[in-house]
Structure 1
């Protein structure tokens, strides 16, 4: 299970939460690796994701 915290076109700063993953009743934030603009969201709320899946693209 996951929650998307950003949308396409949104400006983010390094360390901002992009996605919240839920695993074994724990929430795990996926953080922006650098400042930039969200250019693509490749997953939807509730999707099951695997290690290595690209969920959000940040360019900048």
Structure 2
């Protein structure tokens, strides 16, 4: 299981995937908003979205788990 972490503190502006979606390395999973900037959080591996650990509008800290991926 691979954990995709927040790279900074900010609000979850948009979640681009759903559980059980197949993703490739580099796909945008979540978009954070901080200081009126949109920061895309990309998948670091190919796999299947196992669990979404956040919600749109939630404030997250740097290092928080956003998404868990099942990887080969």
State the TM-score, normalizing by the size of structure 1: 0.96
Unpaired stretches in structure 2, ≥5 consecutive residues: 1-10
Richer in strand (by share): 2
- What is the root-mean-square deviation of aligned Cα atoms in Å? 0.6
Using the alignment, how far apart are the partners of 1:26 and 1:12 within structure 2?
24
Quote the offset at 1:7 in angstroms. 0.7
Unpaired stretches in structure 1, ≥5 consecutive residues: none
Runs of 4+ in 1 over 3 A off after TM superposition: none
The equivalent of 1:24 in structure 2 is: 35
Would you say how many aligned residue pairs link Structure 1 and Structure 2?
A: 60
Q: Tell me which of the two structures has the higher relative contact order, counting C-alpha pairs closer than 8 angstroms and 6 or more residues apart.
A: 2
